[in-house]
Structure 1
């Protein structure tokens, strides 16, 4: 005859089974949590490595060259069209100045769109600023020319040019264009500082440079000083800062500065510009003679090709 379990034995058995189930569940839960954490650690480590990857160096030569082709040339093509139009108006009284301004406004918009689509790494802030300034300039040229086109055929060509030169949009466009050029040449100076620690990267305080100090400066610093000077002239020119710097060097080397008792770079530049002595591509004419040992970024407008 079977022995029946009493009430206490039954309760003990049920409690034991419950504890066993809980223990087994806790074991497998711990295994799962540990596995999940290990997998999470394996995923997060590469992500952290990717985040911590080093930023590219600023103002590399390849960045200066890319900017030249994608931003600088786009702007210069518009500027050259405008300078050519100005000369044509003065030599040909039958020119349709209104049609020319309308076309230039369209060109400015196209160049603005092209430059806007160019990626310039924020690690090079002066190049980024140059891009922004060229874009602002083109937008203002577009707006100003579109507004002036309606009545620009009235009167003489010189009267039309005087009206354009006095236009507030045009004045602001000039300022931004020259600031873009200044920032671009400032980026070249930053490049030079990176490849030669003896190059001073900041010359903003050099508002007036004596002839004696000018002679001691590396060429790349002279180019930045020339671009700074040109930014204050509020005029678009066919020549570039290196053409001005080379003409100043030639003038000093010829003894003309001493003969005329001129004491500063600014005074020499004022004289040369007022007499229209600075010409486009003059730098290339004297580069091998005056700057054979100077280090410059390999940009097309410093070499035989442009």
Structure 2
């Protein structure tokens, strides 16, 4: 005969089974809670870990220097070739301008290929923007020169130059190049503000700024303003924004601005550029006089020994 379970045995078995179920449930609940807490900590820490390095490397000096050598300098070399060609055309009307334009179009294409592969740190968006604008400018210049090869030898050098400068591709190329230049100088302001907290990270200065306020601006902010002025006036020359800055400060220091009743930075810049009073190298010749203690990134065009 089978032995029947007593009431005590049955209660013990049911109690044991209940305790087993509770223990297993508690185990899995603990695993779930622990996993959730770990994931929450990871989500909380992740933005800090990813954002902090990005903030630390944005607009660092090495970014500005790298951009100078791999993007800015190739573009300026091309522009120097174009400016030199214009001077030769005007000096000798018998020059084969068609051949010259072919070479310039080829040079623009070559510089485009070089600038395109240059690495620009993505955490410095102004530099990336400038690179893209320089690329567009080079491509547009190549198109403009190629379009005008056939007619370049017609008429005088002045007529040929006016036709090229009136070309839609050329105008857009000039626009993009000046916009890129301003973005590069603006990135120097961002760099300076990370080094000196007294330099504003963002500014809303206009080229109509009064001379009283202009005089107290840090040099990097002045340079950004002159780059903005050149962009507004569609002026691309052999001199750079900081050369114009130095000539403006020299003009003010000489007392000429007060004598001529010029009240804004833009009005002085207009006078100087309209009369061809700015030259490449003006900044270097006046650097020790006006900017010995000013904060600047260590870029070759700011140093006389480079």
TM-score (norm 1): 0.83
Equivalent residue for 1:28? none
Give the aligned partner of residue 174 of structure 1. Answer: 174
Give distance in 2, aligned partners of 1:248 and 1:297.
21
Contact 2:122 / 2:128 at 8 angstroms: preserved in 1?
Answer: yes
For residue 79 of structure 2, what is the aligned residue in structure 1? 79
Change (3 A) 1:142 1:259: same
Corresponding residue for 2:274? Answer: 274
Query: How far apart, in 2, do the equivalents of 1:139 and 1:237 lie?
Result: 19
Aligned partner of 1:143 in structure 2 is: 143
Task: Report if aligned partners of 1:203, 1:225 keep a CA contact under 8 Å in 2.
Answer: no
After superposition, the Cα gap between the structure-2 partners of 1:51 and 1:199, relative to the gap in structure 1 and judged at 3 Å, is closer
The CA distance in 1 between the partners of 2:48 and 2:196, in whole Å, is 31
Query: What is aligned with 1:5?
Result: none
CA shift in 2, pair 1:211/1:205, >3 Å: closer
Instruction: Report the 3-state secondary structure (helix = DSSP H, G, I; strand = E; otherwise coil) of the residue aligned with 1:178.
Output: helix
CA distance in 1, matches of 2:207, 2:74: 30
State the Cα distance separating 1:205 from its structure 2 match. 4.3
Q: Structure 1 residue 209: deviation in Å?
A: 0.8
Q: Secondary structure at the match of 1:209?
A: coil
Matched, 1:162 2:152: no
Could you say which residue in structure 2 is the equivalent of 1:30?
none
Aligned runs of 1:202-217 on 2, under 5 Å?
Answer: 202-217=202-217
Whole-angstrom distance in 1 between the partners of 2:202 and 2:270: 23
**After superposition, what is the alpha-carbon deviation per residue over 1:202-240, rounded to whole angstroms, capped at 9, x for unaligned?**
233424111111111111110011000011121220000
1:51, CA displacement in angstroms?
A: 10
* Distance apart, 1:119 and its partner CA: 1.4
Q: How far off its partner does 1:94 sit?
A: 1.6
Give the structure 1 partner of residue 57 of structure 2.
57
Question: How far is the alpha carbon of 1:50 from its aligned partner?
Answer: 12
Structure number, greater radius of gyration: 1
After TM superposition, the score normalised by the length of structure 2 is 0.83
How do residues 177-192 of structure 1 correspond to structure 2 at under 5 angstroms?
A: 177-192=177-192
Looking at structure 2, the residues matched to 98 and 72 of structure 1 have their Cα atoms a distance apart, in angstroms, of 27
Offset, 1:275 = 0.9
Distance 2:142 2:132 in 1: 15
Secondary structure at the counterpart of residue 119 of structure 2: coil
Contact kept in structure 2, 1:65 and 1:298, CA below 8 Å:
yes
- Classify the secondary structure of the residue corresponding to 1:150: coil
Displaced runs of 4 or more, over 6 A: 48-51
CA, structure 1 residues 79+146, in 2 after alignment: closer, same or farther (shift >3 Å)?
same
Q: Deviations over 1:267-295 (max 9, x none)?
A: 10111111111000100001011111101
Tell me which residue corresponds to 2:120.
Answer: 120
| Aligned residue-pair number | 285
Q: CA RMSD in A?
A: 3.1
Unaligned runs of 5+ in 2: 1-30
- Once residues 139 and 100 of structure 2 are traced to their aligned partners in structure 1, the CA distance between those partners, rounded to angstroms, is 17
Distance 1:161 1:51, change over 3 A: same
Show structure 1 runs of 5+ residues with no match. Answer: 1-33
Report the counterpart of residue 7 of structure 1 in structure 2.
Answer: none
CA contact (8 A) 1:284 1:304 kept: yes
Residues in 1 aligned to 2:216 and 2:195: alpha-carbon distance in whole angstroms: 19
Q: Deviations over 1:25-54 (max 9, x none)?
A: xxxxxxxxx9xxx9xx9xxx9xx9899453
